[in-house]
């Protein structure tokens, strides 16, 4: 296959199809069913998902929780306004952040947030302009963030989110993401119970989604794109379930590109073997990649020219993926984080 260029993954999306608010209830979003066996496209709702799962299948969910990582505060001494966005934990209450305006955040500068609830000091200014800051607060930093932080919604969502929990999955547990693993937003607790009662297993991985997820691919030759690195953990019980599912002929279905990248990373590092694993991955999956674990994928509709639409094309086939996206636009599906989903099986 010729080297693909970024523009091969462009599609035309009318702005009104970018979902600004989530559908209520969660599982009433639409679900496009793409069959790898029959090449058919069906239009259903997310609550119909169970019909397409079989006893012995395994769903892999990412239990990462989005940090309310956007902080508005002021500089000590001058009182001038500052905005922080937490990117990644580097140590105890030590974080890499982006801040605006940057010129106020030189090394040694101190800031205060939430009427003194949280203090921060810049300990390093990195080459790319990011800062490393040491936070200081009474008690747990995550608790302080839950109280005074704001959700870092993606740039294409311009509406204020009324309920912070709608940008969390119902099974989110491990705080650390800068963005939600959005394919999981459609599940309700009742739906997960229904899936389990059908004999489908559910296993968890944790991948903390970085803001690099939204970074457009700037190089025309996709092979030159440098993927951002994200921290993941695949627990031993998940490894066991993947292995036993595969051995019994069941299907492993990833909920979201983050779950997919975690499982495929572990398989790649382990030469096909899945064992408990913890580390960083910058795996970039694009057409031509051969999947080592995945049999199915549940995912939302992604931005044109993004690494995520490239991943979907790798799994479903380039032409078929672009055709499905064209169909989704025609059928007025809702796109991106708060939008509808597809199941490729």
Q: Is the pLDDT of residue 213 over 90?
A: no
Helix (H, G, I), strand (E, B) or coil at 28: helix
- Shortest CA distance to 15 belongs to which of 335, 337, 345, 343? 335
- Kindly report the average pLDDT of the chain as a whole number: 95
Q: Provide the token pair at 185.
A: 């937003």
Q: Provide the token pair at 140.
A: 């747990």
pLDDT in tens, 158-181: 998 889 899 999 999 999 998 999
Query: Sorting pLDDT into bands at 50, 70 and 90, what band is 65?
Result: very high
- How far apart, in whole angstroms, are the C-alpha atoms of residue 45 and residue 188? 13
- Shortest CA distance to 266 belongs to which of 256, 277, 257, 258? 277
Query: Sorting pLDDT into bands at 50, 70 and 90, what band is 149?
Result: very high
pLDDT in tens, 265-318: 999 999 989 999 999 999 999 999 999 999 999 999 999 999 999 999 999 999
DSSP structure class, residue 59: E
Check residue 214 and give its pLDDT: 66
Q: Is the pLDDT of residue 216 over 80?
A: no
- How far apart, in whole angstroms, are the C-alpha atoms of residue 210 and residue 232? 11
Q: Provide the token pair at 167.
A: 């940008």
Instruction: List Cα–Cα distances, 201 to 169, 198, 204, 263, in angstroms.
Output: 18, 9, 10, 16
pTM greater than 0.85? yes
Q: Provide the token pair at 327.
A: 């169909």
pLDDT in tens, 225-256: 989 889 999 999 999 999 999 999 999 999 99
Question: Could you tell me if residue 39 is left (phi over 0), alpha (psi between -120 and 50 degrees) or otherwise beta?
Answer: left
DSSP structure class, residue 29: S
pLDDT in tens, 248-262: 999 999 999 999 999
CA Rg, the chain, in Å? 21
Check residue 210 and give its pLDDT: 85
Helix (H, G, I), strand (E, B) or coil at 41: strand
- How far apart, in whole angstroms, are the C-alpha atoms of residue 258 and residue 161? 23
Query: Residue 207 phi/psi, 5° resolution?
Result: -130, 120
Longest Cα–Cα distance in the chain: 66
Q: 213 or 87: which carries more pLDDT confidence?
A: 87
Helices 257-269, 307-316: crossing angle, 10 deg rounding:
70
């Amino acid at each position: 296959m010729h080297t693909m260029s970024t523009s091969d993954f462009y599609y035309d999306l009318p702005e009104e199809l970018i979902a600004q608010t989530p559908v209520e209830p969660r599982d009433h979003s639409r679900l496009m069913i793409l069959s790898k066996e029959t090449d058919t496209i069906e239009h259903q709702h997310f609550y119909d998902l169970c019909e397409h799962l079989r006893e012995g299948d395994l769903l892999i969910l990412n239990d990462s929780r989005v940090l309310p990582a956007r902080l508005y505060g002021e500089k000590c001494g001058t009182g001038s306004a500052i905005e922080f966005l937490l990117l990644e934990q580097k140590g105890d209450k030590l974080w890499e952040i982006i801040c605006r305006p940057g010129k106020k955040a030189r090394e040694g500068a101190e800031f205060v947030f939430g009427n003194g609830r949280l203090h921060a000091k810049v300990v390093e200014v990195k080459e790319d302009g990011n800062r490393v800051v040491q936070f200081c607060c009474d008690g747990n930093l995550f608790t302080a963030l839950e109280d005074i932080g704001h959700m870092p919604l993606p740039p294409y969502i311009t509406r204020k989110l009324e309920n912070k929990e709608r940008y969390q999955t119902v099974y989110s547990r491990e705080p650390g993401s800068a963005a939600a693993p959005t394919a999981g937003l459609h599940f309700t607790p009742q739906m997960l119970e229904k899936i389990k009662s059908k004999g489908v297993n559910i296993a968890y991985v944790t991948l903390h989604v970085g803001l690099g997820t939204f970074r457009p691919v700037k190089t025309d030759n996709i092979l030159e794109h440098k993927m951002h690195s994200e921290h993941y953990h695949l627990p031993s019980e998940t490894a066991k379930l993947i292995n036993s599912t595969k051995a019994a002929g069941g299907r492993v279905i990833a909920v979201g590109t983050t779950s997919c990248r975690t499982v495929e990373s572990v398989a790649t590092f382990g030469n096909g073997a899945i064992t408990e694993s913890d580390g960083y991955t910058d795996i970039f999956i694009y057409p031509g990649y051969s999947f080592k674990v995945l049999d199915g994928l549940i995912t939302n509709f992604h931005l044109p020219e993004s690494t995520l639409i490239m991943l979907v094309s790798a799994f479903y086939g380039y032409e078929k993926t672009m055709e499905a996206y064209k169909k989704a636009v025609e059928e007025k599906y809702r796109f991106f984080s708060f939008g509808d989903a597809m199941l490729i099986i």
